[in-house]
């Protein structure tokens, strides 16, 4: 299968080619309000012009009290829609589809952020000397779970009203839904824990609630780990069961990735010392699922050459997902679909502290995205350590701005959007 071949989703809509821009956290939210702004619009217009058949946004938070970082975007029932309409228009301006990735971080939340740190059980993130950087979570009760389901559905509904073509429910990388799937983090003994079916119940309920709130032609996707790469954690056999459970629920595409903040598989390393493929890190594990899945699959993680992307399609995957490569070369999809052999290896750092090195690589990728948003080309000349320090300082300033906004604009109740949000009226915003 050629990368330039179109793909028809189960909902009947068509993607113009098989290259997807996978989600990356841009950390470009406009404050106060945690909104998309001109930089996001410019960045996504460049990616649209760059030829990706599917563009998946960086994660958008369904609950303003719980952010993956202080610079992430929020869409809830009190959010004005007009900035999101502009974002959707920019991202879809060249004819590809644009899906909003929707997420709740659960326990993977900074200790210095206000709001809530939730998890299925009171199991904190453990990251050696960096453990204290994360908040200690509280186990969710039934009301928290019900509200979270409603928030995902509301955000999806608003994404459709704003002009996005679909949403991707984030159940990977150790965030809240991934935590429920993991037997290491989910130690519940009620209907939300224990068996694989119970641990997948929250994800299944969210898929059902989202599909009930959006139109049949609006795409619903899921992102899930092939494995957590932690001993005793979520594994490929569990993925197979999840795929069975979502069969028939109107899921259009499942993206397979891997790892958590405790096992940075997307950076090419694992806590359980599993050997990953040199490129397309999760291909050997994920290809076991292709023959049995009734839902189209997309593979992401370590795809940095056209030959590797084509190998992913040859193994039966519907789409090849590219993240870092498109942060470095926003026109990469157009070049690959035209047949150009262009390799874009990810940044690597040989720092002794590998967790710090992973954070620094992400800072470098964000710096690239910021340059693209500002119309600048090429790699930044700033030394990596300075980029990392600047990134940390910006985040600290953003924590203060976010805290002041949240205190002045507490989270609305979960449920139907307020009339102001539906109209795109910024009433109530500073």
Q: What is the pLDDT of residues 321-354, one digit of tens each?
A: 999 999 999 999 999 999 999 999 888 888 889 8
pLDDT value at residue 347: 84
The answer to whether residue 426 sits within a structural domain is no
DSSP single-letter state for residue 220? E
The answer to whether residue 316 sits within a structural domain is yes
Domain count within the chain: 1
- Residue closest to 3 by CA, chosen among 412, 367, 325, 348: 325
CATH code: domain of residue 36: 3.20.20.70
pLDDT value at residue 346: 83
The answer to whether residue 77 sits within a structural domain is yes
The answer to whether residue 421 sits within a structural domain is no
The answer to whether residue 328 sits within a structural domain is yes
Contact by Cβ (8 Å): 401, 30: no
Contact by Cβ (8 Å): 301, 307: no
pLDDT value at residue 422: 45
How many whole angstroms separate alpha carbon 137 and alpha carbon 205? 22
pLDDT value at residue 425: 36
How many whole angstroms separate alpha carbon 37 and alpha carbon 79? 13
- Residue closest to 414 by CA, chosen among 58, 70, 57, 140: 140
pLDDT value at residue 415: 67
The answer to whether residue 64 sits within a structural domain is yes
3-state SS track over 57-123: CCCEECCCCCCCCCCCEECCCCCCCHHHHHHHHHHCCCCCEEEEEEECCCCCCECCCCCCCEECCCC
How many whole angstroms separate alpha carbon 151 and alpha carbon 169? 12
Alpha-carbon torsion angle 178, 285, 18, 295, nearest 10: -60
- 104 backbone dihedrals φ, ψ, rounded to 5°: -135, 130
How many whole angstroms separate alpha carbon 413 and alpha carbon 393? 33
CA 249, 88, 300, 350 dihedral sign is: negative
| Residue 299, strand partner residues | 256, 320
pLDDT value at residue 428: 30
- Residue closest to 213 by CA, chosen among 252, 147, 167, 144: 167
The answer to whether residue 405 sits within a structural domain is no
Contact by Cβ (8 Å): 252, 220: yes
The predicted model scores a pTM of 0.94
The answer to whether residue 402 sits within a structural domain is no
Which residue matches tokens 């228009």? 89
A 10 A CB-CB count for 382 gives 13
315: its two tokens: 């193994």
pLDDT in tens, the chain (430 residues): 699 999 999 999 999 999 999 999 999 999 999 999 999 999 999 999 999 999 999 999 999 999 999 999 999 999 999 999 999 999 999 999 999 999 999 999 999 999 999 999 999 999 999 999 999 999 999 999 999 999 999 999 999 999 999 999 999 999 999 999 999 999 999 999 999 999 999 999 999 999 999 999 999 999 999 988 888 888 899 999 999 999 999 999 999 998 888 887 777 767 767 877 777 889 988 999 998 999 999 999 989 999 999 999 999 999 999 999 999 999 999 999 999 999 998 888 888 898 898 899 999 999 999 999 998 876 667 899 999 999 999 999 999 999 999 999 999 998 666 444 444 433 333 2
Name the residue range of residue 182's domain. Answer: 15-347
């Amino acid at each position: 299968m050629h990368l330039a071949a179109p793909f028809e989703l189960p909902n009947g809509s068509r993607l113009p080619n098989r290259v997807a821009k996978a989600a990356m956290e841009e950390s470009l939210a406009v404050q106060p309000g945690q909104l998309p702004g001109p930089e996001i619009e410019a960045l996504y217009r460049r990616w649209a012009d760059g030829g990706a058949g599917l563009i998946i946004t960086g994660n958008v938070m369904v609950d303003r009290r719980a952010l993956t970082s202080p610079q992430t975007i929020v869409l809830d029932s009190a959010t004005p829609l007009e900035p999101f309409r502009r974002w959707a228009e920019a991202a879809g301006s060249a004819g590809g589809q644009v899906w909003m990735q929707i997420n709740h971080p659960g326990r993977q939340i900074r200790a210095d952020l206000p709001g809530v740190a939730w998890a299925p059980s009171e199991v904190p993130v453990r990251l050696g000397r960096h453990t204290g950087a994360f908040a200690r979570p509280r186990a969710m009760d039934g009301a928290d779970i019900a509200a979270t389901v409603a928030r995902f559905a509301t955000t999806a509904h608003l994404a459709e009203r704003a002009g996005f073509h679909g949403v991707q429910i984030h159940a990977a990388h150790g965030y809240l839904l991934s935590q429920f799937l993991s037997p290491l983090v989910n130690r519940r003994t009620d209907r939300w824990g224990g068996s694989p079916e119970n641990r997948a119940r929250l994800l299944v309920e969210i898929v059902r609630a989202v599909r009930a709130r959006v139109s049949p032609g609006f795409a619903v996707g899921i992102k899930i780990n092939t494995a957590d790469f932690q001993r005793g954690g979520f594994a490929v056999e569990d993925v197979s069961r999840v795929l069975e459970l979502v069969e028939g629920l109107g899921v259009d595409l499942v993206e397979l990735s891997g790892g958590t903040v405790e096992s940075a598989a997307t950076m090419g390393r694992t806590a359980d010392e599993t050997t990953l493929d040199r490129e397309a890190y999760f291909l050997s594990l994920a290809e076991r699922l292709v023959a049995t899945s009734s839902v189209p699959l997309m593979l992401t993680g370590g795809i940095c050459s056209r030959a590797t992307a084509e190998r992913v399609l040859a193994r039966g995957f519907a789409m090849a997902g590219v993240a870092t490569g498109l942060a470095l070369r926003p026109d990469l999809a157009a070049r690959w679909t035209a047949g150009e052999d262009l390799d874009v290896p990810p940044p690597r750092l040989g720092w002794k502290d590998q967790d710090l090195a992973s954070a620094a690589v992400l800072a470098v990728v964000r710096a690239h995205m910021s340059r693209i948003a500002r119309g600048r080309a090429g790699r930044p000349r700033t030394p990596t350590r300075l980029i990392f320090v600047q990134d940390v300082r910006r985040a600290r300033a953003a924590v203060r701005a976010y805290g002041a906004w949240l205190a002045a604009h507490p989270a609305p109740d979960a449920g139907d959007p307020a009339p102001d949000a539906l109209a795109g009226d910024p009433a109530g915003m500073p």
